[in-house]
Structure 1
Amino acid sequence: MDNKNQIPRAHGQAGENLAMNYLIEQGLSFVEANVRYKFGEIDLVMKDGKEWIFIEVKYRSKSQYGGAINALSAAQIRRLRRAAEHYIQRNKIDTVCRFDLIAIDAGQVQWLTNAF
């Protein structure tokens, strides 16, 4: 594996760890991270009581180019929704679910609940 691919992956993993720790501090329970399917990925799966939360994490070390909050595309949202639908079916989840976005810019965390 070349170093060009390792740096963004390590960078993204650091953002996901920061997001996970932040959400745990806010009272959520960690379920799973980096759930991957051929057609999509879920960065974090958390629970808030009985509510399941599928979380996309966007991390930028600098807040240029519109920052992390503007880095989520419509195609990424479709892939995340498809992955979450598959996850819900596989795990026989029959309760309220939502999609949140954690946007991290230069260490500042923004949590958007019901983001999409």
Structure 2
Amino acid sequence: MKQLGDDAEALAANYLQSQGLSLLARNYRCRFGEIDLIMQQGSSIVFVEVRMRSQTRFGGAAASINVPKQQKLIRTAEHFLQQHGNQAPCRFDAVLLTGLNTNHIEWIQDAFSA
């Protein structure tokens, strides 16, 4: 399962890089949680949650980024910004991969806000 998640994150990182974003960090961890990808787009820092679901039952990949998960991501992002002394504008994006065929990538910019 971990390998599948790592593959999904690599696919998402490659996709976002092809869209002009730069990778700053992968699997950033602190006591509050983990952020899959931290990217930069222009002057903005983009915190990316990558979700893969084999099927769309139970709301699909997007539905799994619930309020408690969002709160963990926000606290982790705040920690990252404090550690790096960064005052850049930031946003939270989601990259959703649906189906076992991960050629379907959905990039949701500003998926939620802090």
TM over 0.5: yes
SS at match of 1:113: strand
Q: Tell me by how many angstroms 1:27 deviates.
A: 0.7
Q: How many residues align?
A: 109
Identity of aligned residues (%): 39
Q: Tell me by how many angstroms 1:63 deviates.
A: 2.9
Q: Tell me by how many angstroms 1:65 deviates.
A: 2.5
Point out where structure 1 has 5 or more consecutive residues left out of the alignment: 1-6
Q: Tell me by how many angstroms 1:71 deviates.
A: 1.3
Q: What is the distance in 1 between the residues matched to 2:88 and 2:41? A: 12
Residue equivalent to 2:56: 63
Q: What is the distance in 2 between the residues matched to 1:22 and 1:56? A: 14
Q: Tell me by how many angstroms 1:26 deviates.
A: 0.6
Aligned Cα root-mean-square deviation (Å): 1.0
Q: What is the distance in 1 between the residues matched to 2:9 and 2:55? A: 16
Task: Give the TM-score, by structure 2 length.
Answer: 0.90
Q: Which runs of 4+ in 1 moved over 4 A?
A: none
Residue equivalent to 2:12: 19
Point out where structure 2 has 5 or more consecutive residues left out of the alignment: none
Residue equivalent to 2:42: 49
Q: Tell me by how many angstroms 1:14 deviates.
A: 1.1
Q: What is the distance in 2 between the residues matched to 1:65 and 1:15? A: 20
